[in-house]
Chains A and B, each alone.
Chain A
Amino acid sequence: AQSVTQLGSHVSVSEGALVLLRCNYSSSVPPYLFWYVQYPNQGLQLLLKYTSAATLVKGINGFEAEFKKSETSFHLTKPSAHMSDAAEYFCAVATWRGKLTFGTGTRLTIIP
């Protein structure tokens, strides 16, 4: 069975500061990994995905994530936070059939 653990249900950073959202996964096979963002009362939007190509993955809105097999991690980063980044972020792992297993989410707050 696959699972995802997101450390920190709430993260607050100052505008312009580094954003780091943590995700650890468990998978018996090489995983497909995703980060999604959810704004209030909306569906999920894909930020980026890892599919066993480059270990450093660049996504939309300046976000990137690095796949580290030895640490079973897929942390999400952004060098400089913007007010519009305030949202809920979900890490997810997929089976080959495409079924997504999500973490419990991290709510990101940006401090002006």
Chain B
Amino acid sequence: DTGVSQDPRHKITKRGQNVTFRCDPISEHNRLYWYRQTLGQGPEFLTYFQNEAQLEKSRLLSDRFSAERPKGSFSTLEIQRTEQGDSAMYLCASSLEQGADEQYFGPGTRLTVT
């Protein structure tokens, strides 16, 4: 069990640039979640997938954000035209099923927009 991995761990970009993050869940997990965490706050839900289907998106996820999980395995989160307010830790988690199943979190990608 290699756990949930995320790449890159850190990303510094200039305002207006596009960035893409990758998440590799635990291999047998069907559910994949993205959260965003800003300094001093708890993680906030962004979106989740059941296999390759994106089932829910938070209103926090503006049209500049897009997430995919094309083959039901790894997922990508893209932010277009980054803004300074996008600076945060982006966390990925996976679980076997829904509800009571615990989510296993990756180490996160810290994004800094200058």
Q: How many A-B residue pairs have CB under 8 A?
A: 68
Q: Which residues of B contact A90 (CB under 8 A)?
A: 42-43
Q: Are B41 and A43 in contact (CB under 8 A)?
A: no
Which residues of A (15-39) have their CB < 8 Å from a CB of B? 32, 34, 36
Which residues of B (89-114) have their CB < 8 Å from a CB of A? 91, 93, 95, 97-108, 110
Q: Are A98 and B42 in contact (CB under 8 A)?
A: no
Considering the complex, give the chain B residue whose CB is closest to the CB of A101. B45
Q: Are A44 and B55 in contact (CB under 8 A)?
A: no
Q: Which residues of B contact A95 (CB under 8 A)?
A: 99
Considering the complex, give the chain B residue whose CB is closest to the CB of A97. B98
Q: Are A99 and B48 in contact (CB under 8 A)?
A: yes
Instruction: Map CB proximity to A onto B12-41 as digits: 1 under 8 Å, 0 otherwise.
Output: 000000000000000000010101000011
Q: Count chain A residues whose beta carbon lies closer than 8 angstroms to a beta carbon of B.
A: 26
Shortest distance from the beta carbon of A23 to any chain B beta carbon, whole Å: 11
Binding site for B on A (CB under 8 A): 9, 32, 34, 36, 41-46, 49, 51, 90, 92, 94-105
Bound-state CA distance A97–B53 (Å) is 14
Per a CB cutoff under 8 Å, which of B91, B99, B107 touches A97? B99
Please name 9 pairs of A and B residues whose Cβ atoms are closer than 8 Å in the assembled complex, sorted by A. Answer: A34-B102, A43-B105, A43-B108, A49-B100, A90-B43, A98-B99, A99-B48, A102-B44, A105-B41
